[in-house]
Amino acid sequence: MERSEPLRPTCHCGACELHVTPTDGLANARRRACSSRRRRGAMNATVRNGDLRGAALVLHRLETGVARRRFCHIRGIYTHHRRRSDPGEYGINVGGPEGVNPRHPGPVPWSDGINHPSDAISERAN
């Protein structure tokens, strides 16, 4: 699997800094139509669990307890989240790293974050 150059995303105030190596650079960047990301149009790049290091941030667990969003403890800026679809992956806010313009990767695909495959499994079990 191809790796990109390491990035150092930060929050707005600079208090939180991550060290990440995105899988396939920004080639896998995407936006999701889930309830929170569709409102802000956030684009995320994939990072495997072992390729993310950084300061402890404020944690917000979502309803299922699998997905976990991280925020700057001072300004509340979203930095990354653990993915519900693959808990071994993180989605990194592409707007965070210095020198990365989230408008430059070209067209970025949207994925369906509302009709999640895990929801269909839990509904069938009930």
**Cα three-residue angle 117-108-22, rounded to 5 degrees:** 80
Domain ranges of the chain: 18-125
Domain range 18-125, its CATH number among 3.40.920.10, 2.170.150.70, 1.20.120.420, 3.40.50.11540: 2.170.150.70
Residue 112: predicted pLDDT: 65
| Tokens 């994939």 -> residue | 46
Question: How much is the pLDDT for 7?
Answer: 84
- Residue 97 has what pLDDT? 79
Q: Which residues, including other chains, have CB under 8 Å from residue 63's CB and lie 6 or more apart?
A: none
What pLDDT was estimated at residue 113? 62
> Would you state the pLDDT for residue 2?
44
Q: Give the integer Cα–Cα distance in Å for 24 and 37.
A: 22
The pLDDT averaged over each successive group of 10 residues in the chain (126 residues) is: 70 85 80 63 79 76 75 84 84 80 67 64 52
| Whether the model pTM is above 0.75 | no
How far apart are alpha carbons 36 and 42 in whole angstroms? 9
pLDDT at 3: 46
- Give the pLDDT score at 1: 36
Residue positions counted in the chain: 126
